[in-house]
Amino acid sequence: MADTKKLFIKTYGCQMNVYDSERMAETLGAQGYVQTDTADDADMILLNTCHIREKAAEKIYSELGKFRGLKTAKPGLKIGVAGCVAQAEGAEIIRRQPMVDLVVGPQSYHKLPQMEARVQSGKRALDTEFPEEDKFDHLASRPKAKRGPTAFLTVQEGCDKFCAFCVVPYTRGAEVSRPAERVMAEAADLVARGVREITLLGQNVNAYHGHAGGLAGLIWQLSEIDQLERIRFTTSHPNDMDDALIEAHGTCDKLMPYLHLPVQSGSDRILKAMNRKHTRESYFALVDRIRSARPDLLLSGDFIVGFPGETDQDFQDTLDLVRRVGYGQAYSFKYSARPGTPAAERAEVPPEVASARLQELQALLTEQQRAAQADMVGREVKVLFEKKGRREGQLIGKSEYLHAVHAVAPDDMIGQVITVQILKDMTNSLKGQVLSAPARPRA
């Protein structure tokens, strides 16, 4: 029997990359690889990259440089780069870092077995094409090992929106939706292995069209899986929040009251320059409709400050939007140019101005986030416990609002949805007290 080979994967960026890393590990697992937590004893190192942040490619080249000594000490070590930086840089990665053996884009990782065989023969392997075939049809079957209580499940990839700041249409391609029957089969398999909460993923997930009823139709069908307790989805575009999806937030018990709905700016002038194709007023109207359907919904968002041409008044419009909407959670970033995008050719806001704006915005968002957490004190929430905490007898899980909650509870509550009363608001979590015994698993 051949010796087991060890695989080290380092994942950067979004939840979709986390999912992709899992599938790549499973695909290479069929070739005899098992995962290791350290690069030092790996036979293959795979960096699954993200191209959203500033100087993403340079950071990956720097990371690769850290493995040079390891590669020298272990000539048989294979090093690969996957994901969006791989897609954007292609052969340039091998040119700049000749020790790299394999470069694979996010739409081609189903070809990893053939690529791995090629590098084992002493050749390099490069694939950054957008293949006609569906990669999910060619991936190895997921192993039957027991899973933790939560899982990501990609249902849609790519984006057709072409926001002026974003590289996703160029690195992930056009919008593609997985057929509902395949999503259902993968979801049922995950649930059979212990998963109780599934987060549906897509660069523009609410544009999903693999079900006749769109994303709402898929959610309702998933809700029929008996032991699936919770459903979430991310990330959404305001223009694709249709009536059926809004209604599902109000009527589907398994769809959690949390929604990530990026707006990016509160200025109509900047929204137009970003090519967002919505306005601040249309966003306000949409939020009102969603909250009418689900009044307790916790809203999350994304914001970019310092976009080219942003004035003080534009920034004040963003602060005004944040105050009017009220976010329980949000992510904010200083604009950084992505090569090849329309905005990259425009004059940037002075860095010190953008930094000051970001600091002011983050202070406001943090204030709102802390207020939302403090409002939970005294309330009863449903917590899906996921793992043991650092303290003896403590478990950690997530409420329906995606707040981290820790409480003293027996280990057999892991994987159970338990009623918890919130006792205290901590910096990044909530402390609670278990009120109910674990429910018996349904047959």
Is 252 annotated as ligand-binding? no
CB atoms within 10 A of CB 370: 13
Residues contacting 31, CB < 8 A, separation 6+: 5, 112, 113, 116
For the chain, helix (H) and strand (E) counts, in that order, are: 15, 19
Q: Which two tokens stand for residue 301?
A: 């968002």
SS3 category, 317? helix
**Per-residue exposure over 278-294, b if at least 16 CB sit within 10 Å of its own CB, e if not:** bebeebeebbeebbebb
Looking only at the bridges linking them, the beta strands covering 197-201 and 230-234 are parallel
- State the DSSP H helix or E strand holding residue 359, giving kind and residue range, or none if neither: helix 351-374
SS3 category, 397? strand
**Nearest alpha-carbon partner for 157 in 112, 222, 209, 221:** 209
CB atoms within 10 A of CB 209: 16
CA dist list (Å): 98 to 120, 124, 414: 16, 10, 46
CA distance 91 to 102: 10
Peptide bond into 235 cis (omega under 30): yes
CA distance 105 to 29: 19
Phi then psi for residue 393, to 5 deg, are 80, 5
In degrees, rounded to 5, the angle at the alpha carbon of residue 52 between the alpha carbons of residues 159 and 129 is 55
- State the DSSP H helix or E strand holding residue 69, giving kind and residue range, or none if neither: helix 68-73
* Sole residue written with tokens 């159970």: 416
CA distance 418 to 412: 11
- State the DSSP H helix or E strand holding residue 332, giving kind and residue range, or none if neither: strand 329-334
- State the DSSP H helix or E strand holding residue 156, giving kind and residue range, or none if neither: strand 156-157
* Sole residue written with tokens 């957490």: 373
Residues annotated within a binding site for [4Fe-4S] cluster: 14, 50, 84, 159, 163, 166
Residues annotated within a binding site: 14, 50, 84, 159, 163, 166
